[in-house]
Every structure is written in structure tokens, then in C-alpha cells.
Amino acid sequence: MGISKRVKNINPSQTLAITAQALKMKQEGKKVISFAAGEPDFVTPENIREKAISAIGEGFTHYTTSSGIIELKEAILEKLKKDNKVEYKTSEIIVSTGAKQCLFNAILTICDPGDEVLLPTPCWVSYTEQIKFAGAVPIFINTNQEEGFKLSAVKVEEKITPRTKLLILNSPHNPTGAVYEHEELKKIAQLLLKYNIYCISDEIYEKLVYDNAKHLSIASLSEEIKDKVITINGVSKSYAMTGWRIGYAAGPEEIIKGMSKIQGHSTSNPNSIAQKASIEALTGQQDTIEEMKKAFDKRRKYMVKRLNNMEGIFCLVPAGAFYAFPNVSEILERGIEYNGKKISNSFDISDFILKEVEVALIPGSAFEAEGYLRLSYATSMEDIKEGLDRIENILRY
């Protein structure tokens, strides 16, 4: 009796839980600074908001084709061709309620119970739970700071078994900010072809790359690899449109059809108004991306420098996304005492920081990476300064 094993087996999102706790503390009047959020602090650009208003005015408020309207699919095709150098037909595209739904549909379409899914760690929280939900088995491949948190072909090959069905790649990467380069992707692509393994390439942070880093889609490397890749992207992070819930996937027709079947019986079409707004996001003026990126870049440099100046903390410079991912294992080894208990892991330290100085951040354990913390710099410079001051003070010897 009671709820299903499938649901019992799934852990709630720690990121969402900490974000909600920080919000609750704010509502209680506490001066919480949140480095927890995974979304830009900018407002959706005006040209995009206006298109949504016109869609409402025109009464574009009914069901649409379940897998998304044709004009949006065409805008996505053009975008993929222009930015990512990979060509698709509209039958190879699906629009969903956020990239999260695309990932969910793709994993359910590809995986049977017992199939193994290769998942490089650190990894974004939802992949693991979505894989488990499908009855598949996440096979973690640890990457580390010394390797720039990037997967090597050798490490992937070691984990391949006859049950391996899928690899999940995420570049630019949440939480580490790692961005894969051409040679690295080429080697991984060769392995996928050799062992006939699918790849979900989550490119949601595509537009947020800094310094000399360049985003590259693994599907663009060859026609053969394109047949094994489901590219996932969306408007959430690039256009500050997290609340609109529009994501999309491009891949082999058979997989997209499977994903559409699931969507047709679960949520049906993504929001009609948000679909119209997303056409404007993809085809309208793109200046606001650059403005947002400039602001993130400034904050990124400031945050990483401050973190590296703190004793016992080491932070790699992230090449993409909007997170710093410092290593705090030295502090954990040092052994701070809190409420009569030694702080010995990343959850304890983030709880200590939240309760003592009201700064919310995410423990590395949420990303299968003990000894690290994730701090989002998608928040104002003023809050970044204040939040880091508070952390520095509390972690001082």
C-alpha cells in the first residue's frame, strides 16, 4: 500500500529545496543572500514580452500541436543551422515545457529498465533522478578538478558494458562551468559510434561562455554522430525566460516521435503564448544576450578571485554557465564545530553558512561531488560582495 516504489526511489531536488528555504527566510524578514538560484536575475527582454502580449491580444490561447507550433520549430531549425552548424527537419524537433521536460521525455524514450546511463560527475541534480525514474541505472564517471572536470574517452570506455545505452553530456556545464573543446568531443563521439551508444547533449548554457571558450555541438561533428545525438536546449538561461517554460530537442526522427508520444499523453503542448514569445527570442535582436553575458563575466571574475583569496578554498575559473564551484575540502578537514558537532561534509557547511550568516548556496553532494559548494553568480554585484564578505568572516580561522 502507499505510494509507488518508482516515486519512493526518487529524491527531491536539493537545489529547489534550498532555494525555497532561502525564500521562506526572506519572507520572514531575514536578510538572506541567495547564491542558490539557477536562473538569470535579469528580466526577460522587452521585445520578447511584447510578443507574448500580442499573442494574448490575438487570442492565441488554445491548444497547439502537442509537439509545438511549426513556426517555432522552423525558428529552432534556423538557429541550429546558424549557431550550431547542424541541419534538421521539423519532424526531428520537439518543443516542450522547459529543457527539463525534453530530458525527461528523451530518457524515457531511450531507456528500458536495467539499461545503463553514463553520467559524468559532478552532475546536475535532475539527471540522476530522471534516469532512476525510467528504471535505468546511472553509472557515474568521476571527473575532477585537475582534469578541469572534463570527461576523458579512457574513463568513458572503462565504464561501458553491454547494457550501456546512453551518455549524458552537458557543456557548458552545471555546476562546474566546464566547456568541452573540439578534440575532446571528437574522441567521445568516436566511442559512442564504436559502441553504438546514444548521447543526450544538454546545451542549455550555450550562450554563456567566457574568455576564449567556444560552444560546440557534438551533433555537428559528423552525419553519423548526429544520428546518435539528441541535442537539448531552450530559452530559459539565454533569454532570462526560466518562468516561461520552453525547451526544445533535436534528434533522430524515431526518438523525437517517441518523445512526442509521451508528451501527447502527459502535458500536451507547451504554453501557446510562451511559444510565440520564444519565436521572437530566437529570431529577434540578440543584443541582450551580450549585455547579460558581460555582467555575468564581471561577476564571475570577481567571485572567483574573492573565493581563491579565502584560506582553505580553491576555485577553478569556470569557462561557461553562471556558477562558481569551489573546493572546500581543506576547510572540512580543518573541522569547524557547529552546535557541538563537527562540520564534515558539504551539506553541513552550507547549512552552517545559511543558518549563521544567511547566505544560501548548494552543497556539492547534490551534484555527486562531496567537498565542493556551488555558488550562482546570477545575482547582483552588491549581493555578491555582501554574501562573500559574510562567508569570508564566518570561515575565518
Residue 374, helix vs strand vs coil? strand
Any contact of residue 121 with ligand PLP (CB under 6 A)? no
Among 236, 269, 278, 379, binds ligand PLP (CB under 6 A): 236
Distance CA 93, CA 75 (A): 11
Among 138, 148, 234, 318, binds ligand PLP (CB under 6 A): 234
Residue 201, helix vs strand vs coil? strand
- DSSP for 147-191, written as a single string: GTT---HHHHHHH--TTEEEEEEESS-TTT-----HHHHHHHHHH
Backbone φ and ψ for 320, nearest 5 degrees, come out as -150, 180
Among 109, 170, 201, 217, binds ligand PLP (CB under 6 A): 170
Any contact of residue 247 with ligand PLP (CB under 6 A)? yes
Only segment of 67-75, 94-102, 146-154, 352-360 that touches ligand PLP (CB under 6 A):
94-102
Distance CA 238, CA 236 (A): 6
Max CA separation in the chain (angstroms):
63
Any contact of residue 124 with ligand PLP (CB under 6 A)? yes
Name the residue nearer to ligand PLP (CB basis): 208 or 313: 208
Name the residue nearer to ligand PLP (CB basis): 19 or 348: 19
Among 100, 207, 276, 306, binds ligand PLP (CB under 6 A): 100
State the nearest-atom distance from the C-beta of 289 to ligand PLP, in Å: 16
Any contact of residue 171 with ligand PLP (CB under 6 A)? no
Name the residue nearer to ligand PLP (CB basis): 236 or 263: 236
Identity of the amino acid at 306: R
State the nearest-atom distance from the C-beta of 223 to ligand PLP, in Å: 26
Cell numbers found for residue 148 = 578541469
* # binding residues, ligand PLP (CB under 6 A): 13
Identity of the amino acid at 216: L
Any contact of residue 365 with ligand PLP (CB under 6 A)? no
Please name which of 189, 253, 258 lies closest in space to residue 217, comparing C-alpha atoms: 189
Cell numbers found for residue 331 = 576547510
Any contact of residue 387 with ligand PLP (CB under 6 A)? no
Residue 45, helix vs strand vs coil? coil
Any contact of residue 204 with ligand PLP (CB under 6 A)? yes
Distance CA 388, CA 397 (A): 16
Any contact of residue 202 with ligand PLP (CB under 6 A)? yes
Task: Point out which residues bind ligand PLP (CB under 6 A).
Answer: 38, 98-100, 124, 170, 174, 202, 204, 234, 236, 242, 247
